[in-house]
Amino acid sequence: MEYSTIASTINSKTTAMNEIINQISSNDFGNVWKGFAQVKMTTDLKNTIDRLNIEKANIDKFAAALHTLQTYKVTNQTLEALELKLSMLANTEENQAEISSLQTEINRTRATKESLKKNLEATFASFQTITPQVQQVNYSIGDTSYIVDLNEFTSLFTNKELKKIPDDGQNSLYDYISSEEVEEKINSIKEYYSGRYAAVNCALGIMDMAASQGLKLDYDWGGGHSTVSTNKNMAVGVDCSGFASWAINQGAQETFNSRSTAGLIHVGNKVDYTEAKPGDILVYNRDGAGHVVLVVENDPENGNFLVAEAQGSANGVVMNNRSYSSLKNGGYQARDLTEIYGN
């Protein structure tokens, strides 16, 4: 196959590649997705596209070099033919004019060949320092919805492998993990998730930090009810509504102030259990009593929720399975928080 044929094939591929890049670049994700994670992801996408454009330019440069290589090949063949013709001419008086003309053409062709050679050497030398900047990543959405394996993580609680942070002087997550590490973990989660999945994964993330020390977060009645529930509140101890308020705030489009169950039962919109999504809440409040849990996963087929909840001073913050029937008997409402998180 001729070098020019290979180069033309490469050119057609880069043209198709450019069309795809333009299609991706023209998408405005801001119309359907807002938040810190959206900014981070779109910035990463732009940087990747910029790198792709650089590599596409390098590929085009390589294709141009192949065209030049084809010209070099033809020039070299022409030079060999001229030199062969000259060698076959007798050095006689009558051949002097033709010999002179051939010598001139040979010198011109040699100069062209050397120029092409230098051009090719410089071009190919520039490719020696190229290192991969863009990698193909294969993934599925199901693999990245949660930062932990839900089955394995939930089993830590159902198998009672964790102890609640004790109330004996070491009564804060910060006694085991620094506040800076907690802050960094929560911020890193919000770099990659937004909305309802930021809420769920921040809850899972801080629970997982405690679990890494063999512990469950503490329950503290009334905890987490400053204006906004903070990481420090979570580290020291929160009640059920303080925990839910903190998690919701991690994914909210705007600051979500702490609410009791009496307030949370009016947040968002009431929906059927089957319609509840991760980050929504299940809440009841009546006769001055109430409880709220955060939906982590919904299984309508089996009529069951996997939830995270602050479950009282004896249990602390736990993962739990809640059936539709038990929730209905308890008077729980499913509240869709899409208006809090955004679409």
pLDDT in tens, the chain (343 residues): 688 889 899 999 999 988 988 888 887 776 666 665 667 778 888 888 888 888 888 899 899 999 999 999 999 999 999 889 888 888 888 889 998 998 999 999 999 999 999 998 888 888 755 555 555 544 444 446 898 999 999 999 999 889 998 865 558 899 899 999 999 999 999 988 999 999 999 999 999 999 999 999 999 887 777 778 888 888 888 899 999 999 999 999 999 999 999 999 999 999 999 999 999 999 999 988 899 999 999 999 999 999 999 998 889 999 999 999 999 999 999 999 999 998 6
pLDDT at residue 211 in the model: 92
Q: Nearest to residue 249, comparing CAs of 299, 196, 310, 185?
A: 196
**Apex 227 CA angle, 269 and 194, nearest 5:** 55
Residue 165 φ/ψ, nearest 5 degrees: -55, 125
- pLDDT score of 140: 44
Which has the closest alpha carbon to 189: 146, 240, 248?
146
d(CA 234, CA 219): 9
pLDDT at 136: 54
Give the angle 31-37-42 at the CA atoms, nearest 5°.
60
Closest CA to 303 of 283, 329, 285, 284: 329
In the prediction, which pLDDT does 36 show?
A: 58
Contacts of 311 (CB under 8 A, 6+ apart): 219, 240, 317, 318, 320
d(CA 62, CA 8): 11
pLDDT at 142: 47
Residue 156 has φ and ψ, to the nearest 5°, of -60, -35
Task: Write down the pLDDT at residue 317.
Answer: 94
